[in-house]
Amino acid sequence: MSSGLCDTYVFQHIPNLIVNVQAMGHRIFVSDVQESVYMVRYKRQENQLIIFADDTHPRWITTATVLDFDTVATADKFGNIAVVSVLHFLFVCFLNYL
């Protein structure tokens, strides 16, 4: 029986193992061990997490940090560093689509 004090939400759209979660504003940056970085938005009215952008190249992420509202720096297990960014214009188009 649920008391309603602490509801849980299971988000199963990240395919492997989440290694890092950071947030800035309404954006949540989720790093997956094999699939690189996902940019997620939380919709409070529907209680949903929506992936609106992801990296086009799968990377074995070991660490990630948010640089600004549109950009994340990542490092993978092979010693590579990548900077992943989403264009603000595309994000505005996505919001208008919802």
**For position 86, what pLDDT does the model report?**
83
pLDDT value, residue 56 = 84
Write down the pLDDT at residue 21. 92
Residue 76: predicted pLDDT: 92
* Sequence-distant contacts of 47-55: CB under 8 A, at least 24 apart: 47/9, 49/9, 49/11, 49/13, 50/98, 51/13, 52/86, 52/91, 52/94, 53/86, 53/90, 53/91, 55/82, 55/84
| Distance of alpha carbon 14 from alpha carbon 60, whole angstroms | 14
Query: Which tens digit of pLDDT belongs to each residue from 65-81?
Result: 999 988 999 999 999 99
pLDDT in tens, 23-82: 988 889 999 888 889 888 888 888 888 888 888 888 899 999 999 988 999 999 999 999
Hey, where are the domains in the chain? 18-97
pTM (two decimals):
0.73
Token readout for 20 is 């890092």
Question: DSSP letter at 29?
Answer: E
